[in-house]
Chains A and B, each alone.
Chain A
Amino acid sequence: MAGKTVRRRRITRDQWTAAAFLAPSLILIAVFVYGFISWTGYVSFSNWNTLTPDFSFAGLSNYLYLFSDFRFQADLRNTLFFTLFFIGMVIVLGMGTAILLDQKLKGESIFRNIFLFPMALSFVVTGVVWQWLLNPSTGFNQFLGVFGIQPRWYTDTNILAGFQWGAIEFGLPVAILAVVIAAVWQMTGFSLAMYLAGLRGIPEELREAARVDGASEGQVYRRVVIPMLMPITVSVVIIMAHISLKIFDLVYAMTGSGANFVTDVPGVYMFETTFRGNYYAQGAAIAIIMLVLVAVFIVPYLWYNRKGENR
């Protein structure tokens, strides 16, 4: 460190060039990320709910409106259940397939590519296709008919275990599970790839040692491998949580808001109220709430990682 300071004085020209390399990006990020977020925050406290901008101060009225609004309450409920089921399934399927593919089976790379390719697709493509696969009158229901079950998928307006809470019926909206299935199809590859990389980083000697100690194959995974994959699981949860909290394109392309807003999410509400309804201040308030929800996950994660780097 001390040596560095001395050298720094000697080569100021390089220091200037380094600053010139970094400065454009830093300015862009400062303006486009932090400046614009502040501006959105400002709009969310204004009366700009018409086509022409009106920046007069509205206090918390946009937020108060949203939290008493049927649609926004439904969005928060849907987001909660979407996030829980989506993350849960992506982790279970991703870890499960990764462990299966790590067994040195023949054809491993074929299976890996089959599970990974949806990652290369757009949520819009996924939405267009799954809209048909989970259409209650065709798609998978043609097979399920054999067993006498005909789920109504995203057209189902039932709320499981529902009870009145605020303006809405709180409980699991069955329709959101159809969107979860499509999202899981697309994102499982992500967690699979991460878990595979994690598994390959666990030295074989560790598992061998556990086996020598008399652990069964199941115990080796439960006691040694899965705990060692914990940092990966944390990363997967964070990444999937931020995807699910800001999801927009998949829902918009696949189902839209749905009857009684059973498949609506804040991303769709924000888009429609701002750009179709010209309620800019309300849209800004939704966006700020989405940002806060994401920040709850992301900020501690980034902070922890930064500390980790300083060690």
Chain B
Amino acid sequence: MTVLRWTNIFKYAVLLALAVVFLSPVYVIIVTSLKPLEEVSLSTMWELPSGIDFSSYGRAFMELAPNVMNSFYLVIPATLLSALLGAMNGYVLSKWKFKGSELLFTLMLFGMFIPYQSILIPLIQFLRTIDLYNTIWGLILTHVVYGLPITTLMFRNFYASIPDTMIEAAKIDGAGFLGIFRRIMIPLSITGFVVVAIWQFTNIWNEFLFAVTITNSDSQPVMVALQNLSGSQIVEWNVQMAGALLAAMPTLLVYILLGKYFVRGLLAGSVKG
């Protein structure tokens, strides 16, 4: 019994040490962002602020607020559209398989893994020709298209778990393709929609490469603005830290409130069902 207890203490010690390391960035973000500029110095990074000062949040908010709005204008339509298209594809590819559908699905999945650098130059040329370069709609289109493989994969795996007998029964009752989708698949996949939406929301919010190459100035999403804030010559890193926390807040809140679904999305997107 004592041996058991010792191994438990050891396990806790390892976990605690790791947890401290994992949380240290959070500590630095919070402590630094609450300091006034005079108190920010390299040698006192780990020290608590003398008082709580929200002025860096004010500054960061002034800088980032328009870009935060851009991110919301981008993320909400892009998430909804890619979830809807993913559900439609997933339905066909799981319940209406045809000769070659598996191959088409694999060809589609490949799009999820490509480095986006390999499509970036033509994409920008294309967006320029259709006048969507440097617009939120251009980014929405981009994220919907390149989100298709993952949303299709998630819904396909999700729908594969709905028994075929249910579909057969509905067919016997006279339901067609659309009826089955509307009255059986969609109601049964509300959780699926939540999982996919959370996944897409987080990914599109956090994305940087498309954001920095497709938009400049006024239409830039928040991550580009945050990078500009930290890349600028003024080293007010209390403002940088406050900005980082503000920019991360929406996805962090989603994780805190709906973490279970976030992890399900992670597993659904990586482990084939």
Q: Chain A: residues with CB nearer than 8 A to chain B?
A: 11, 13-15, 17-18, 21-22, 24-26, 28-29, 32-37, 39-40, 43, 93, 97, 100-101, 103, 105, 111, 113-133, 135, 137-140, 142, 185, 190, 193-194, 197, 232, 235, 239, 242, 245-246, 248-249, 252-253, 266-267, 270-271, 274-275, 280, 283-284, 286-288, 290-291, 294, 298-299, 302-303, 305-306, 308-310
Contact = CB atoms under 8 A, between A and B. Distances in A.
Contacts of B93: 22
Given A25-B152, A248-B117, A131 B230 contact: yes
A39 B46 CA distance: 51
Interface of B is mostly: helix
Interface of B: 8, 11-12, 14-15, 18-19, 21-25, 28-29, 32, 42-43, 45-46, 85, 88-89, 91-93, 96, 98, 102-104, 106-111, 113-123, 126, 145-146, 148-149, 152, 176-178, 202, 205-209, 212-213, 223, 226-227, 230-231, 237, 240-241, 243-244, 247-248, 251-252, 254-256, 259, 262-263, 266-267, 270-272
Nearest to A309: B102
Nearest to B149: A29
Nearest to A249: B208
Contact of A310 (B102, B241, B251, B256): B102
Contacts of A284: 121
A78 B208 CA distance: 21
A283 B109 CA distance: 25
29 contacts: A13-B177, A17-B178, A25-B88, A35-B122, A116-B259, A117-B255, A117-B256, A118-B22, A120-B202, A120-B251, A120-B262, A121-B252, A122-B251, A124-B206, A124-B223, A128-B241, A139-B45, A142-B45, A193-B263, A194-B267, A194-B270, A270-B117, A271-B117, A271-B212, A291-B115, A291-B117, A299-B110, A302-B109, A308-B272
B42 A309 contact: no
Nearest to A248: B209
Contact of A25 (B23, B85, B113, B252): B85
Closest 9 CB pairs of A and B: A122-B206, A246-B115, A120-B255, A14-B177, A249-B208, A36-B119, A138-B42, A39-B122, A287-B117
